Amino acid sequence: MDFPRTMRGRRVLSAVAITTGLVLTVAGCGGGSDGKSDKGASASSAPARSGGGDQEQSQAPQPDTVLAEVKGENGLALTVTSAKRDNGGFVTVEGTVTNNTGTLWVAASWRGDERELARNGGSIAGASLIDQKGKKKYLILRDTSGRCLCTQFTGGVREGATAQWFAQFPAPPEGTDTVDFQVGAMPPASIELSRG
């Protein structure tokens, strides 16, 4: 399962659909009763369509919102950009990590303490969601071979670079809208869950 590639594909398809809808809307709204209005409308709408389309597609892979941002571990910055409940009974959390440590970062402390998770290498396998209201901790989901349903930072993250990540967890009960995301020695980040 290549979840990050699937999510990127969905985002690109969404961006294309939105762009197409905007282009059709702009094209349908143009026009007027005299030749002068038509020329002005087509001249003003053409740049808006190409500029808007290019801008929309270039922004498609970038996150829309920042739900939480925490700093710690010698200059690491963790950002959570999405936390969505999916129909399958799980929550997918996505974000970025920026390495400002001054050296290569390999995420060794993020992979978790369990023996089964050691095979995931430098990953975000040790992350958890904490439901303060229900007093429960949700560990990352795994496949049948013990691999986490999460990002593995193969080769580490270079100094000054930013890497995207995702992690999947069992969903807290309906009505629990706020949870704490925690990984490694990073401070907990309070995030709000949305419907996917």
pLDDT at 146 exceeding the cut of 60: yes
Please check whether residue 85 is in contact with residue 195, taking contact to mean a CB–CB distance below 8 angstroms.
Answer: yes
Are 32 and 87 contained in the same domain? no
Q: Which of 56-65, 69-78, 167-176 has the highest mean pLDDT?
A: 167-176
Domain stops at, among 25, 42, 59: 59
> What confidence category does residue 11 fall into, taking pLDDT thresholds of 50, 70 and 90?
low
pLDDT of residue 145: 82
Cα 66 to Cα 79, 103, 111, 116, 154: the distances in Å are: 7, 26, 24, 32, 25
Give how many domains the chain has, as a whole number.
Answer: 2
pLDDT of residue 13: 47
> What confidence category does residue 3 fall into, taking pLDDT thresholds of 50, 70 and 90?
low
> The pTM is what?
0.64
- Domain residues for the domain of 187 are 68-195
CATH number at residue 94: 2.60.40
pLDDT tens string 111-141: 777 776 666 778 888 899 999 988 999 999 9
